[in-house]
Amino acid sequence: MTPLLEVRNLSKFYGPRIGCADVGFELWPGEVLGIVGESGSGKSTLLSCLAGHLVPDTGSVVYDTRTDGPRDTLTMSEPERRMLSRTDWAYVHQNPRDGLRMNVSAGGNVGERLMAVGARHYGNIRATATDWLGRVEISDERIDDRPSAFSGGMQQRLQIARNLVTGPRLVFMDEPTGGLDVSVQARLLDLIRALVRDLGLSAVIVTHDLAVVRLLADRLMVMKSGHVVEEGLTDQVLDDPQHAYTQLLVSSVLHV
């Protein structure tokens, strides 16, 4: 089997400061990888480099495309990369405002993604949008409302529907439950877990919350000062951390 994503020697510096350094991993189809670490450890930098939002200084990000097999996304042309992020990739921002169009209706937010990949029939677009709102537990009565009238949890669920409606294979998530109330977080995590499982998605999830990776991630990478200090199966890493930094992360959570 070919990995869906194969990352080698990825580094990004901000002047003399390390963003992330020498990161490498493979992500297999249907696998969920969690990236954890304290604030400033390089998680967002790494995710941005993977998703093509930031250009790394060194390394390769090879993606197994549907049409041409493995391709280094860093050397792709801009139109090719744009097409990839429209069809095969999804990116869920921590703040739904960054991933939604706040002045467009909920149905429009979902529907315009379908139009971007060629859908033209209004009735079909609206039916698919309604179906996706239902899947993320938003009542069809709210289809014409703008996201600005939604709660934070609803906005995040709408952002997920907007991202998944085009059937991507790989989803990048940056602190998807950050900034939400604990009870809202729990419901959202359950929803994400069910969607990822039902759709067979691969995902890379960045979070500082070990409970999120415990629930969602098959495998875990622990980052500190831009470097990966430990990786392995989630339960193994959390139940028997080998690196002193991971031990600290795990014990600080246990003692809260």
Ligand X SMILES: Nc1ncnc2c1ncn2[C@@H]1O[C@H](COP(=O)(O)OP(=O)(O)OP(=O)(O)O)[C@@H](O)[C@H]1O
Contact with ligand X (CB under 6 A): which of 11, 41, 159, 166?
41
How far, in Å, are 27, 146, 214, 217 from residue 222 at the CA level? 15, 38, 13, 12
Closest of 205, 207, 206, 209 to residue 250, by C-alpha: 209
Of the listed pieces 41-49, 159-167, 181-189, 247-255, which binds ligand X according to CB under 6 A? 41-49
Of the listed pieces 43-51, 56-64, 78-86, 183-191, which binds ligand X according to CB under 6 A? 43-51
Contact status: 224 vs ligand X (CB under 6 A): no
Contact with ligand X (CB under 6 A): which of 5, 19, 36, 135?
19
Residues within window 182-221 making contact with ligand X, judged by CB under 6 A: 208
**CB nearer to ligand X: pick between 45 and 128:** 45
Tell the smallest beta-carbon distance from residue 221 to ligand X (Å): 12
- Alpha-carbon distance of 137 to 125, in angstroms, equals 18
Contact status: 44 vs ligand X (CB under 6 A): yes
Contact status: 55 vs ligand X (CB under 6 A): no
Closest of 228, 220, 226 to residue 250, by C-alpha: 220
Tell the smallest beta-carbon distance from residue 46 to ligand X (Å): 7
Residues within window 64-93 making contact with ligand X, judged by CB under 6 A: none
Contact with ligand X (CB under 6 A): which of 1, 16, 39, 182?
39
**CB nearer to ligand X: pick between 86 and 208:** 208
Contact status: 30 vs ligand X (CB under 6 A): no
Closest of 199, 210, 189, 203 to residue 252, by C-alpha: 210
Contact with ligand X (CB under 6 A): which of 37, 52, 99, 176?
37
Contact with ligand X (CB under 6 A): which of 10, 21, 23, 42?
42
Contact with ligand X (CB under 6 A): which of 23, 25, 36, 45?
45
Runs of H (alpha helix) within the chain: 43-51, 78-87, 96-99, 106-116, 122-135, 152-164, 182-199, 210-216, 234-239, 244-254
Closest of 6, 33, 10, 20 to residue 225, by C-alpha: 20
Q: For the stretch 32-66, what's the b/e string if a residue is b when 16 or more beta carbons lie within 10 angstroms of its beta carbon?
A: bbbbbbeeebbbbbbbbbbbbebebeebebbbbbe
Contacts of 44 (CB under 8 A, 6+ apart): 174, 206
Contact status: 43 vs ligand X (CB under 6 A): yes
Cβ count within 10 A of residue 128: 19
Of the listed pieces 37-45, 57-65, 77-85, 122-130, which binds ligand X according to CB under 6 A? 37-45
Tell the smallest beta-carbon distance from residue 205 to ligand X (Å): 13
Which residues of this chain interact with ligand X, rule CB under 6 A?
14, 17, 19, 37, 39-45, 208
